[in-house]
Structure 1
């Protein structure tokens, strides 16, 4: 290692795929590592380079990406791209000399992780979902640590459980600042604010079901509703007409910039079950009706709902069963008494891991000179606590009283 690197200022490479789900945790970790005095570089693909939010201090390196589809005819080109990307990553490592490489999943992380494990550079994988992703499964046996967002992870081999550290999913700073704010007051005759989103491009099924489902609530509850809903552009007018016909006030849009403040004001969330969504719901403490994306790889969105639903902070409805009648039924189940939504919010809050980015940074810093930090370790010594969601380290959700 060169004289440039000291214990206070080491070098780290983050490798993340070209989606916000992979890149946003990487951006959060980069910011925390830079705050601690380290130097960070990003390896991604062309799509990842275009994702907004990359810290200005972090240089990015775009590598070729090999995508392995079900069609074997494309595998040769994919392998060629991976090997080319691996060679480029090795050249970066020669000049940058990273103390560790952190992979966040997705095909664009393959060349960097392949190069790091082949070179003997300590490597950490972060898994955002409750199912170990394909790329992370591929490298689980070759890395030093697996950082997870949930205490229970599907598709994780028993022989790799000793590498697991429960840290959570980093969330945006503007969302995390809301954690210590109280759940919005909800008097029996007060306005009930409902926030509906379906991912970056909305979800047509929400536009088709939610207005009619809300209309099926008892009149005393329906008359209190104030809805904010994200829709696809082509669905906006039809959804607006549905709400008008039901006499339910609704603000509709294709994109809301101030989503953090809207989440802060919401009494109930209805939407998909992506890793970032659940991390924000549990960070702030908001009850939810979650409809997992049915085509999500390995059905990981359904697995993501497991912890919050078991705690009582959310209800999960499979998309094939997501009807107006079922939605109304589940909303009533969450708000079965004046304090029902507040109790669900409390349950969601207790699933949050507000120290996720700090714990992940501690884990990464433990490679390349520093001693192992106090992160939550899921192994033989505390498997029972992990399986029950018992917090035993810095990443713990702090219990609070109503």
Structure 2
């Protein structure tokens, strides 16, 4: 039996960071370890992910706003680092795992100071800003894609492809067959844009679906996630087109929604791609153009190249183009099943297991960080 150890997961408060952190936490706890989460106010309150896990909020500045903003950010980072040092001396983590986002930085800085082993996980196909900043110092880098932009060759030896961990309920869909599309059966479409940039989907998708062949439009059932300010307009659009649609601001039952969907229309966030490829669902992807380093466009490439998705640049995202790409993806049983299989071929079902294995391989007994602990104690006394 594996000896029980303590681990700290440090992550920014968005779903793209929190979902894989929660999946790793579940895997480590299943192995008998103890886990604590360090994040911001959003992260520790993320619904349905960390209710039974010890959580801590540390101050962390976000770079920006010119020289004055940088100074304020540095002060907050150092305050967060000081709090992390105190916490780590008490908690004695075997390793600290960063998932990106500025709230992860103070914990990683404290780990470097103490000599605690560190791992970072990059969910996107472009190495994020915080992960780029710490990549030289960490012991291991875990990636979700085989090709990751801004990942320097000198880091290759400590880089491992593990994939992007997803929730167990999503992973379970991998064992369920793609829903059969019968000749006169319901054609189910799921539209999800998340919190960022969902309005463009609400503007384009209802009119685009209305351009599909009549026999599909008559059998279509849509579930559409929309921003609160868009709901009434979206509902009216679907009603005008005679398309049955359920409109909601939040889809609490996402695993079940994915289970019955024949086609998904979505942004190309890291967690979205991971869930689509885990479940094996064909998709129309519209990368969010304001994402840092245009990482959503990079995220969509693997799934699109495999034939499991079609990608539309937002500048070309019109009702006509949407209808065209859905038809190219496939509107017959064989075409959709083939696209579903290609989507699933990009999924990495063992991501949580492989990431946990990597974490366990780099960790070390706290005693090995004794020198750092002594130094930190001195530093804490002097602060």
TM-score, normalising length from structure 2? 0.92
Q: Which of 101-110 and 113-122 deviates more? A: 113-122
Match of 1:339 in 2: 334
**Equivalent in 101, 114, 123 of residue 119 of structure 1:** 114
DSSP-derived class of the 1:305 partner: helix
Instruction: Give the C-alpha shift of residue 223 in structure 1.
Output: 2.1
Contact 1:45 1:62 in 2 (8 A): yes
d(CA) in 2 for partners of 1:358, 1:307: 22
d(CA) in 1 for partners of 2:48, 2:176: 25
Residues 171-190 of structure 1, C-alpha deviations (whole Å, 9 max, x = no match): 11111111111000012332
DSSP-derived class of the 1:53 partner: coil
Match of 1:16 in 2: 11
d(CA) in 1 for partners of 2:364, 2:12: 28
Please say if 1:225 is aligned against 2:225: no
d(CA) in 2 for partners of 1:296, 1:184: 32
Contact 2:117 2:364 in 1 (8 A): no
Match of 2:141 in 1: 146
Instruction: Give the C-alpha shift of residue 122 in structure 1.
Output: 0.9
Please say if 1:319 is aligned against 2:314: yes
Please say if 1:266 is aligned against 2:261: yes
1:44-83 matched pairs, under 5 angstroms? 44-83=39-78
Instruction: Give the C-alpha shift of residue 57 in structure 1.
Output: 4.0
d(CA) in 1 for partners of 2:10, 2:107: 6
Q: Gaps (5+ residues) in structure 1?
A: 1-5, 371-402
**Equivalent in 147, 150, 170 of residue 175 of structure 1:** 170
Contact 2:140 2:362 in 1 (8 A): no
d(CA) in 2 for partners of 1:54, 1:350: 27
d(CA) in 2 for partners of 1:296, 1:165: 24
d(CA) in 1 for partners of 2:214, 2:168: 38
d(CA) in 2 for partners of 1:115, 1:13: 12
Q: How many residues align?
A: 365
Match of 2:202 in 1: 207
DSSP-derived class of the 2:175 partner: coil
Instruction: Give the C-alpha shift of residue 312 in structure 1.
Output: 0.2
Provide runs of 4+ in structure 1 moved above 6 Å. Answer: none
Q: Which of 42-51 and 338-347 deviates more? A: 42-51
d(CA) in 2 for partners of 1:313, 1:349: 8
Residues 25-53 of structure 1, C-alpha deviations (whole Å, 9 max, x = no match): 11221121111111212211222222223
Given the superposition, is the C-alpha separation of residues 249 and 54 from structure 1 closer, same or farther in structure 2, using an over 3 Å criterion?
A: closer
Instruction: Give the C-alpha shift of residue 54 in structure 1.
Output: 4.0
Instruction: Give the C-alpha shift of residue 194 in structure 1.
Output: 0.5
The structure with higher relative contact order (CA 8 Å, sep 6+) is 2
Residues 347-368 of structure 1, C-alpha deviations (whole Å, 9 max, x = no match): 0011111111111111101123
Q: Tell me the C-alpha RMSD between the 2 structures.
A: 1.6
d(CA) in 1 for partners of 2:251, 2:335: 28
Contact 1:31 1:55 in 2 (8 A): no
Please say if 1:352 is aligned against 2:352: no
Residues 140-194 of structure 1, C-alpha deviations (whole Å, 9 max, x = no match): 1111111111111011111112211111111111111111110000123322100
d(CA) in 1 for partners of 2:344, 2:145: 14
Contact 2:2 2:32 in 1 (8 A): no
Please say if 1:105 is aligned against 2:106: no
Instruction: Give the C-alpha shift of residue 198 in structure 1.
Output: 0.9
TM-score, normalising length from structure 1? 0.87
Match of 2:357 in 1: 362
Residues 225-257 of structure 1, C-alpha deviations (whole Å, 9 max, x = no match): 111111222222221221122121212122222
DSSP-derived class of the 1:43 partner: strand
More helix by share: 2
Contact 1:8 1:36 in 2 (8 A): no
